[in-house]
Amino acid sequence: MKRFRSLVAASMATILLVASFALTGCLGATGSKEVTLTPTVDTPTIIQSGVLKVGVDTTRAPFAGQSKGNIIGVDVDLAAAVAEQLGLKLELVDIAGETADDLLVSGTVDVVMDIEKGGVESTQAVQVGPYLVDGPALFMVQLSDTIPDIDLATLAGATVAAQENSLSAWQVEQVAPDSTIISVPALEEAFNQLSDGKVTYVAADAVVGAFLATKDVAYENISCVKMLGDPLGVYLGVAPGNTALADALTEALRTVRDGGVLGVVVTKWLGSVSAQVVSSDQAIVTIGATGAAGSGDANGTGATSDATGTSGGELDTGDDLPDPSLAGGA
Smallest CA-to-CA distance from 282 within 314, 309, 250 is with 250
Residues 6+ apart with CB under 8 A from 218: 191, 192, 195
The CATH class for the domain spanning 136-227 reads alpha beta
**Which tops the pLDDT comparison, 314 or 155?**
155
88 phi, psi to nearest 5 deg? -120, 150
d(CA 130, CA 220) in angstroms, rounded, equals 27
Q: Any idea which architecture 6-133+232-325 has in CATH? A: 3-Layer(aba) Sandwich (3.40)
Among 14-23, 65-74, 169-178, the least confident range:
14-23
**Which tops the pLDDT comparison, 177 or 293?**
177
Residue type, 220: E
194 phi, psi to nearest 5 deg? -65, -45
Comparing 6-133+232-325 with 136-227, is the CATH topology the same? yes
Residue spans of the domains in the chain: they are 6-133+232-325, 136-227
pLDDT band of 301, cuts 50, 70, 90: very low
Could you tell me where the DSSP H helices lie in the chain? 74-85, 100-105, 167-175, 187-195, 206-215, 243-258, 261-270, 272-278
How many other β-carbons are positioned within 10 Å of the β-carbon of residue 319?
14
What integer is the mean pLDDT of 41-46?
A: 96
Q: pLDDT tens digit string along 252-300?
A: 999 999 999 999 999 999 999 999 999 887 788 888 755 443 433 333 3
- Geometric angle at alpha carbon 86, from 83 and 92, rounded to 5°: 20
Q: Is the dihedral of CA 272, 207, 233, 41 positive or negative?
A: negative
Residue 311 has pLDDT above 80, yes or no: no
**Which tops the pLDDT comparison, 266 or 117?**
266
pTM score? 0.79
pLDDT band of 112, cuts 50, 70, 90: very high
pLDDT band of 49, cuts 50, 70, 90: very high
Smallest CA-to-CA distance from 41 within 239, 260, 254, 242 is with 242
Instruction: Tell me the sheet residues that pair with 325.
Output: 6
Q: pLDDT tens digit string along 28-37?
A: 344 445 667 8
3-class secondary structure, 296:
coil
> Are 309 and 298 a contacting pair, CB within 8 Å?
no
Proportion of the chain above pLDDT 70, given as a percent = 76
pLDDT band of 315, cuts 50, 70, 90: very low
Q: What is the pLDDT of residue 317?
A: 40
